[in-house]
Amino acid sequence: MTAQNIPIRYESPVVAGGENGLNLGRLNAAALRGLAHMFNEESGLFCYRLNRTDAGLLREGISPRYTVITLLGLHRLETAGVPSPFNIHAAIDTLLEDGRWANSIGDVGLLFWLCAVAYPEKLASVIEQFSVKEALSHAGDRNTTDLAWFLSGLAHYNLIRERHMCDLSDQAMETYSLLKDNQTEGGLFGHSARKRSMSGLLRGHIGCFADQVYPIYALAKAAQGFHIEKAAARAFDCALALCRLQGPLGQWWWHYDSRNSRVVGRYPVYSVHQEGMAPMALFALGEVLRSDYGPWIYKGLQWISGTNELNRDMRDDSANVIWRCAYHKNHKRYLETAWASLTTSEAGTSSADLQVLYECRPYELGWLLYAFGNHGLR
């Protein structure tokens, strides 16, 4: 099957109404209110997480990486005509003042992506400050997610690049080559190249959900930005495998064996996968292929509104957050993944003893806004 002949074309679905229905504009509005509690005025950045404690909601730490992702979402909402309550340019300036936090090509890629869409005047200085031309040669761990973020940044840069701006096509092609080495014939990605290290040989074939969706997005954008041959087809192969493995309640599972396209670890099921990461990747691919992944996107989205194993709405209107995940509190999830990866068995399907993790991280709301921000606030 090729990306030019894709049996994924449906009328765009609407999100179900009723008590557990999801109004996307209201979801965006709640995310925006939630982010107000996660912003650290002193640092000018967003926190690491908001945690529910006996004393109430506690804001913990700061995270430059989460700030970048959150700003991407806020900018997407701005493009729909909703002014951001946060000064996006000022936050980017803060991130650039001390770039030591960007200690991977993934971080550099995210920042480059953000500047390309929201602050292109800073691109030349980012190229110089973070040695973008040489970033791959200096990178240590070239894992799948980092490569995907870096390629996404390069693609967004090329989509707005003018003639006088630096040509980074060679860097993009090298990143694409490294990324595709982590993909198997079944379409899924492992966490890292198996041939490059002992850890890669032992567990490089096991990829988490992030190792699938970020390459889907990156490859879709690379197809647009650099016209890389077969990039969209590779993204389609991964998306097709993921959609086939989606759970009966729309769950996007946690760990996959890329060698044989099996789920090897189902839990935790993370809200951000349902509400943000899967939608933003599949929307991007659908735009390139002119195909509709709506049935899978909206089925996954319904999981957070109570159509899940716990019959629990993961949204908390009183706190303006979406709680992080449904998880096994004990070590069952680790044993399940380890056993399934060593055998030919599928991961267990038991949802017994699942609990809600009562925390929320700003990037989770950021990806939600990036996926659905074009719906504005209603």
Give strand pairing partners of 328: 354
The predicted pLDDT at position 344 comes to: 52
Supply the pLDDT for residue 198.
44
CB 172 within 8 A of CB 128: no
Q: Are 95 and 64 in contact (CB under 8 A)?
A: yes
Residue partners of 18: CB distance under 8 A and separation at least 6 = none
- Count CA within 13 A, CB hemisphere, residue 248: 4
Write down the residue that tokens 């629990």 correspond to: 312
What pLDDT does 1 receive?
Answer: 33
Instruction: Give the DSSP per-residue string, 261-287.
Output: TEEEE--PEEHHIIIIIHHHHHHHHHH
Which tokens hold the place of 376? 């504005």
Could you list the pLDDT tens digit for every one of the 378 residues in the chain? Answer: 344 433 333 333 344 443 346 899 999 999 999 999 999 999 999 999 999 999 999 999 999 999 999 999 999 999 999 999 999 999 999 999 999 999 999 999 999 999 999 999 999 999 999 999 999 988 777 899 999 999 999 999 999 999 999 999 999 999 999 999 999 999 999 998 755 554 544 467 999 999 999 999 999 999 999 999 899 999 999 999 999 999 999 999 999 999 999 999 999 999 999 999 999 999 999 999 999 999 999 999 999 999 999 999 999 999 999 999 999 987 555 545 444 444 555 555 567 899 999 999 999 999 999 999 999 997
Cβ–Cβ under 8 Å, residues 331 and 48: no
User: Residue 147: which residues within 8 A CB-CB, separation 6 or more?
Assistant: 105, 106, 175, 178, 179, 182, 215, 218
**Residues 211, 191: contact at Cβ < 8 Å?**
yes
Q: Where are the domains of the chain?
A: 24-375
Apex 141 CA angle, 341 and 149, nearest 5: 90
3-state secondary structure 149-216: HHHHHHHHHHHHCCCCCCCCHHHHHHHHHHHHCCECCCCCECCCCCCCCHHHHHHCCEEECHHHHHHH
Bridge-based pairing state of the strands 56-60 and 269-270: unpaired
Say what the pLDDT of residue 192 is.
Answer: 84
Beta-carbon contacts of residue 156 (< 8 Å; ≥ 6 apart): 112, 113, 116, 117, 221, 225
Number of CB atoms found within 10 A of residue 7's CB? 7
User: What pLDDT does 339 receive?
Assistant: 44
| Residue 45: strand, helix, or coil | strand
Residues with Cβ < 8 Å from 152, sequence gap 6 or more? 109, 110, 113, 214, 217, 218, 221
> What is the value of pTM for the model shown?
0.91
Domain at 24-375: CATH code? 1.50.10.10
| DSSP β-ladder status, 325-328 and 269-270 | antiparallel
